[in-house]
């Protein structure tokens, strides 16, 4: 019987409110009439038409209100004005708050910049989703699989030839020992790579000069980066100019690449055509399927089935090499290369992603601490603001409006802090870049950066402002003006929780820093087993190897060096790994252990200052048979179970050689200082020599020694610059990674502590302010200043203590995980926590006392005079 | 007096208000016009015309009583103002004068 409800709803929606009554009334009355005249069905139909007839501007237009309606903008303007006034009214509060927030934001922003760089690694290539690296998967003797990133040289072309899914394939073999010269401009040690012509099609490194697809087709072509072009040719155009390599072959520059961005895993400065690798006599080419020495990358066709392709190429090497006991293959997508580069048992188990996650977490923590600070200080001021809120509420401000006001205040503060943070980041970025060895920059010119920055600030202000906003806006006006307010509504517990949280983060980071530092010192102070002072290493290049004898004689005769040896690699590099050794009474388990091979001609023990425990050093000049003699280290002796090692025979089955043990040296660190010392076999000149070690005469100044050594090397190897390394510096470099972790952890710990202390400082000042009268009365009644300080500090110190208790298990667990990665590691002892805890307490106490001592010394007359 | 601001429908509505006074409101007028003309007339159209006439000063209105069929809503009752009355008689005079000038046999031819 009643008219269509939907039509009514529709009308109510569009019709102006002041007309609704009469219009609806008219409609309903007419409907009743119609039902009588025409029946209900037709009446309903007509009703709809009538409703639609009201869709005229006269009925839709709303009546202008006689009173001004506050629009959103006026309200926001008001919020901003009040916010400004509040900032200025509480200057010290604002400064503390902003300092904390901006430092926190700057820290978080720095980390985010770095994270962005890490996550964008090699994501700029056009074909990024179709590029794969070919891996080998070998099964080690202990049943574990080992993923190998290097492949054999014939694999790449065979993949391209055999499988239609492969659009392009390239091999990349890195080189760094070429002498590159243009006229008198000479450089060694530059990173380069032999690549197939398809390299520049697969990877998108933009060309500045030269046309595409012609760069590496000729055997005498070379592609260089802008940086190298500048080094070699200055401001001249590099294209079609000639570069000489090793004073032997000339190359024509066919392309100049834009400098590689910091977010790519490739580090070359020049690219050489793969064909040049086939140069006779160079020994670079190795067509064996069983020698893994080259990285292979492929570009799959779009829509290629990766799983099926993986199945197809699995037994590639087995087929081509005609053996079943060799490795299988799989392909690994580009998106995983940088962040998931660690394999365990043939499965990717992470890698850099862990660091990325940890730092993401730290960034979040730092920001959270800063925000907590903000919340804490804002709520601490709540008593001062409570009356204002009460009046506002009485005057008709709703909760939403008040929340809006506090969020605006937070946003204003965040904007100032954000601008300050940007300034800090800009100032600190160069130092930060040196610290973590990257080239981060603030991308000012990208609008997305500003968008993100704004979003970041909005997020921060919401995070920091939401708690005080909701907390303060929820005050009941009736409670605010009553005397009981202080105790009931200003509950301190959420604020206490916030302080505890803050200090927990700060203590975790601080303790972690101490543990990392201890671990580094522990490894640094480990007995190296050799003396690396005054010891340098010169890698063989050009004619050094040929003239080794003469160079050695001259250096010794001139009194520059006290001892010289030529070796397989640098001492700090470790050596080569082998599995194929056999010895009498061997246990099968032991023969599977990796043994490190090293070699020397003579005087290794003397030059490196190792300690000979039994027998003698290798000396092929005095004992011609020493080509087949070996010196073992203690671990090797233990592994092979020799009671009397001298005179024992070790067999190298793959070369069918028998080696006689002539000496035993004390264990020395080869490779990582964090790992267990591997069993080492030092042989005579069985394999090649790549470097020489020189022990300088300690009675002369190092500068003199170096200058004269350079003259001698220049005489015998004129084309190459004298390139040498100090072994102690090489060894120190092994700690770079951990040093960096330490510095960063320390930096962020300092940041966290700084922000937490700012917060504590602010909080104390408000508590002290509140307790002014109480202090006065206590002093009048005979309390000493110390009593008062103790009373005021006690609460805060309790919070820090509580934070400390929470931090212990978290730190212990996470640092335990970190230390697991090192074989040679410290245990986490209780005193580390004790130190960190005491330190935190001390810092907190000092912060708190800044305020409490001042309050305790105030003459009670002052605080009690007026009431 | 400018009379171009009085549309034909407005004129009819104004007349109806005068005729139905003092019980003139949109439903009544719409019903009346429907009966008289045989075309369907929506209250919306009438209401809009009433609003315009009121704006021009030919009508005044006040809220009347509420009835059950209106769902307890009040109606807006309209009455013709003095100005409205003068406009109506002016219009009528013009028309009468014109009617009087029509030659009688033409009148016959229509039928």
Coil, strand, or helix at residue A630? strand
- Binned at pLDDT 50, 70 and 90, residue A487 comes out as very low
* Interface with chain A: mutation pick from B28, B38, B43, B68, highest number of A CBs within 10 Å: B43
Tokens of A250: 């000339």
Six token digits for residue B15: 């007349």
Give the residue among A848, A841, A845, A800 at the shortest CA–CA distance from A503.
A800
CB pair distance less than 8 Å for B73 and A53:
no
> Are A545 and A512 within one domain?
no
Number of H helices, E strands in chain B: 5, 2
Asked if the ipTM is above 0.90, the reply is: no
> What pLDDT shows up at residue B1?
45
d(CA A573, CA A671): 5
Question: For position A542, what pLDDT does the model report?
Answer: 78
CA distance B71 to chain A (A): 7
- Residue A683 lies in domain: 535-733
Calculate how close chain B gets to A82, using CA atoms only, in Å.
45
Rounded to a whole number of angstroms, the distance from the CA of A21 to the nearest CA of chain B is 6
**Closest chain A residue to the Cα of B51, Cα to Cα:** A58
Q: What total of structural domains would you count in chain A? A: 4
Considering only the C-alpha atoms of chain A, give the largest distance between any 2 of them, rounded to a whole number of Å.
133
Q: Which residues does residue A600 pair with via DSSP β-bridges, in sequence order?
A: A567
Tell whether the model's pLDDT for residue A296 goes beyond 90: yes
Which secondary-structure segment (H or E) carries B85?
Answer: helix B82-100
Tens of pLDDT, residue by residue over A79-96, are: 888 888 888 888 888 888
A383 pLDDT band, cuts 50/70/90, is low
List Cβ neighbours of A386 (8 Å cut-off, separation of 6 or more): A472, A475, A480, A485, A489, A490
Q: Are residues A591 and A656 in the same domain?
A: yes
Residue A255 lies in a domain: yes
Q: What is the reported pLDDT for A488?
A: 42
pLDDT of residue A69: 64
Q: Measure the CA angle with vertex A639, ends A637 and A643; round to 5°.
A: 45
Give mean pLDDT, residues B28-41.
89
When pLDDT is cut at 50, 70 and 90, the band that residue B59 belongs to is very high
Q: How far apart are CA A607 and CA A535, in angstroms?
A: 8
The predicted pLDDT at position A522 comes to 87
Specify if A88 maps to a domain: no
Asked if A465 and A118 touch (Cβ cutoff 8 Å), the reply is no
B74 touches chain A (CB under 8 A): yes
Q: Are residues A398 and A498 in the same domain?
A: yes
Claim: this prediction has a pTM higher than 0.80: no
Give yes or no: residues A382 and A512 share one domain: yes
Whether residues B26 and A59 touch (CB distance < 8 A) is answered with: no
Which of A21, A32, A46 is the closest to B69 by Cβ?
A: A32
Chain-chain contact of A21 with B44 (C-beta, under 8 angstroms): no
- Distance from C-alpha of A770 to C-alpha of A748, rounded to nearest angstrom: 33
**Does residue A720 share a domain with residue A792?**
no
For chain A, count helices (H), then strands (E).
Answer: 30, 27
Nearest-CA distance A69 → chain B (Å): 26
B43–A27 CB contact, under 8 Å: yes
Of B25, B40, B48, the CB nearest to A58: B48
**Which residues sit opposite A578 in a β-bridge?**
A595
pLDDT of residue A486: 53
Query: Which of B44, B63, B69 is nearest residue A54 as measured by Cβ atoms?
Result: B44
Cα nearest neighbour of B66 on chain A: A25
Provide DSSP, A243-310: EEETTTEEEEEEEEEPPPPTT-S---SEEEEGGGGG-TTS------TT---BEEEEEEPTT--HHHHH
Q: Which two tokens stand for residue A29?
A: 């009355």
- Answer yes or no: do A661 and A696 share one domain: yes
Q: What is the pLDDT of residues A721-776, one digit of tens each?
A: 888 889 888 888 888 878 887 888 888 888 888 888 888 887 787 778 778 888 88
Residue B2: pLDDT band with limits 50, 70, 90:
low
For A21, name the nearest residue in chain B, comparing CA atoms only: B73
- Mean per-residue pLDDT for A795-816? 89
A401 plus A291 within the same structural domain: no
Q: Based on the domain organization, do A620 and A644 belong to the same domain?
A: yes
pLDDT > 70 fraction of chain A, expressed in percent and rounded: 95
Q: Which of the 8 DSSP states describes residue A601?
A: S
Lowest mean pLDDT among A109-113, A321-325, A576-580, B74-78: A576-580
Under an 8 A CB cutoff, do B71 and A24 touch? yes
Same domain, A546 and A506: no
pLDDT at A489 over 50: no
Using the Cβ of B35 and the Cβ atoms of chain A, whether some distance falls under 8 Å is answered with no
- Determine the 3-state secondary structure of B42 from DSSP: coil
Cβ atoms of A511 and A779 closer than 8 Å? no
Phi-psi bin for A24: left (phi > 0), alpha (psi -120 to 50), beta? Answer: alpha
B39 interface with A at CB cutoff 8 Å: no
pLDDT at residue B30, as a whole number: 92
CATH architecture for the domain at B8-110: Orthogonal Bundle (1.10)
Strands A328-333 and A192-195 come out as: unpaired
Tell me what pLDDT residue B17 has: 92
Same domain, A632 and A721: yes
Q: Do B63 and A22 touch (CB under 8 A)?
A: yes
Average pLDDT over residues A644-668: 86
Domain ranges (residues) in chain B: 8-110
Q: Is residue A579 part of a domain?
A: yes
> Over the stretch A198-229, which tens digit does the pLDDT of each residue have?
888 899 888 888 776 667 778 888 899 998 88
Residues A755, A502 contacting (CB under 8 angstroms): yes
Question: Positive or negative CA dihedral for A377, A381, A383, A389?
Answer: negative
- Which of B:45-64 have CB within 8 Å of A? 45, 47-48, 51-52, 63
Backbone φ, ψ for residue A863 (5° rounding): -80, -20
**What is the distance between the alpha carbons of residues A544 and A537, in angstroms, rounded to a whole number?**
13
A621 and A679 share a domain? yes
Give the model confidence (pLDDT) of A708-725 as tens digits. Answer: 999 898 888 888 888 888
Q: Can you tell me the distance from the alpha carbon of A295 to that of A230, in angstroms, rounded to the nearest whole number?
A: 29
């Amino acid at each position: 019987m009643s008219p269509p409800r939907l039509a009514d709803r529709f009308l109510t929606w569009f019709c102006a409110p002041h007309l609704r009554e009469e219009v609806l009334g008219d409609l309903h009355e007419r409907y009743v009439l119609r039902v009588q005249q025409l029946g209900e069905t037709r009446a309903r139909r007509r009703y709809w038409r009538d409703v639609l007839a009201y869709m005229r501007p006269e009925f839709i237009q709303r009546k202008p209100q006689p009173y001004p309606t506050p629009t959103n903008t006026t309200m926001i303007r008001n919020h901003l004005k009040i916010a400004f006034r509040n900032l200025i009214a509480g200057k010290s509060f604002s400064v503390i708050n902003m300092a904390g927030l901006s430092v926190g934001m700057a820290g978080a922003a720095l980390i985010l910049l770095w994270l962005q760089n890490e996550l964008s690694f090699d994501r700029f290539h056009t074909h990024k989703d179709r590029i794969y690296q070919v891996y080998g998967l070998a099964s080690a003797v202990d049943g574990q699989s080992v993923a190998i990133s290097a492949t054999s040289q014939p694999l790449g072309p065979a993949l391209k030839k055999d499988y239609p899914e492969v659009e392009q394939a390239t091999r990349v073999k890195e080189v760094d020992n070429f002498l590159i010269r243009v006229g008198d401009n000479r450089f060694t040690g530059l990173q380069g790579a032999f690549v197939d012509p398809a390299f520049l099609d697969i990877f998108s490194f933009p060309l500045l000069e030269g046309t595409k697809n012609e760069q590496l087709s000729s055997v005498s072509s070379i592609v260089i980066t802008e940086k190298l072009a500048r080094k070699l040719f200055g401001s001249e155009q590099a294209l079609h100019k000639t570069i000489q390599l090793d004073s032997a072959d000339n190359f024509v520059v066919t392309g100049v690449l834009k400098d590689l961005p910091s977010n790519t895993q490739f580090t070359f400065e020049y690219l050489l055509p793969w064909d040049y690798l086939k140069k006779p006599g160079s020994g670079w080419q190795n067509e064996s399927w069983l020698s893994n020495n080259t990285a292979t990358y492929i570009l799959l066709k779009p829509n290629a089935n990766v799983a099926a392709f993986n199945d197809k190429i699995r037994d590639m090497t087995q087929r081509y090499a005609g053996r079943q006991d060799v490795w299988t293959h799989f392909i690994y997508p580009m998106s995983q290369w940088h962040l998931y580069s660690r394999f365990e048992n043939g499965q990717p188990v992470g890698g850099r992603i862990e660091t990325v996650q940890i730092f993401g977490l730290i960034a979040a923590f730092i920001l959270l601490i800063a925000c907590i600070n903000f919340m804490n200080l804002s709520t601490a001021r709540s008593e001062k603001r409570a009356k204002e809120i009460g009046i506002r509420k009485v005057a008709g401000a709703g909760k939403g409006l008040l929340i809006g006001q506090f969020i605006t205040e937070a946003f204003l503060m965040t904007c100032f802090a954000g601008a300050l943070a940007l300034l800090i980041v800009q100032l600190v970025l160069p130092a930060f870049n040196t610290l973590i060895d990257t080239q981060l920059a603030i991308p000012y010119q990208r609008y997305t950066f500003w968008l993100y920055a704004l979003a970041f600030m909005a997020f921060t202000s919401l995070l920091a402002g939401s708690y005080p906003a909701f907390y303060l806006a929820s005050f009941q006006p009736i409670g605010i003006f009553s005397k009981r307010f202080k105790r009931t509504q200003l509950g301190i517990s959420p604020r206490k929780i916030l302080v505890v949280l803050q200090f927990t983060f700060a203590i975790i980071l601080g303790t972690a820093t101490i543990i990392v530092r201890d671990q580094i010192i522990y490894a640094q102070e480990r007995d190296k087993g050799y003396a690396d002072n005054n010891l340098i290493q010169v890698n063989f290049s050009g004619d050094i190897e040929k003239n080794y004898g003469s160079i050695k004689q001259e250096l010794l005769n001139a009194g520059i060096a006290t001892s010289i040896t030529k070796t397989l690699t640098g001492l700090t590099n470790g050596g080569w790994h082998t599995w194929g050794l056999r010895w009498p009474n061997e246990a099968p388990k032991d023969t599977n252990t990796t043994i490190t091979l090293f070699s020397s001609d003579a005087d290794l023990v003397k030059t490196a200052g190792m300690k000979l425990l039994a027998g003698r050093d290798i000396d092929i000049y005095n004992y011609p048979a020493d080509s087949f003699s070996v010196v073992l280290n203690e671990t090797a002796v233990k592994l092979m179970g020799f009671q009397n090692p001298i005179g024992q025979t070790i067999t190298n089955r793959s070369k069918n050689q028998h080696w006689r043990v002539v000496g035993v040296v004390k264990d020395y660190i080869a490779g990582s200082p964090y790992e267990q010392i591997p069993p080492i076999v030092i042989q005579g000149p069985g394999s090649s020599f790549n470097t020489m070690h020189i022990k300088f005469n300690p009675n002369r100044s190092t500068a003199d020694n170096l200058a004269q050594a350079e003259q001698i090397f220049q005489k015998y190897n004129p084309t190459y610059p004298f390139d040498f390394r100090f072994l102690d510096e090489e060894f120190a470099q092994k700690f770079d990674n951990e040093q960096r972790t330490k510095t960063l952890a320390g930096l962020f710990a300092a940041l966290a502590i700084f922000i937490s202390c700012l917060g504590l400082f602010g909080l104390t000042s408000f508590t002290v302010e509140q307790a002014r009268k109480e202090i006065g009365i206590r002093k009048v009644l005979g309390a000493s200043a110390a009593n008062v300080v103790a009373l005021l500090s006690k609460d805060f110190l309790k919070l820090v203590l509580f934070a400390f208790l929470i931090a212990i298990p978290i730190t212990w667990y996470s640092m335990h995980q970190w230390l697991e990665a090192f074989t040679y590691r410290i245990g986490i002892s209780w005193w580390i926590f004790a130190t960190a805890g005491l330190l935190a307490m001390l810092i907190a106490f000092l912060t708190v006392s800044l305020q409490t001592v001042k309050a305790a010394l105030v003459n009670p007359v002052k605080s009690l005079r007026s009431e | 007096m400018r009379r171009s601001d009085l549309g034909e429908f407005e004129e009819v509505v104004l007349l109806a208000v005068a005729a139905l006074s003092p019980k003139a409101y949109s439903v009544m007028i719409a019903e009346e016009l429907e009966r008289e003309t045989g075309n369907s007339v929506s209250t919306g159209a009438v209401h809009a015309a009433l609003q315009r006439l009121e704006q021009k000063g030919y009508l005044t209105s006040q809220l009347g009583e509420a009835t059950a069929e209106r769902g307890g809503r009040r109606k807006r009752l309209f009455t013709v103002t003095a100005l409205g009355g003068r406009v109506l008689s002016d219009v009528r005079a013009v028309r009468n004068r014109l009617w009087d000038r029509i030659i009688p046999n033409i009148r016959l031819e229509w039928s």
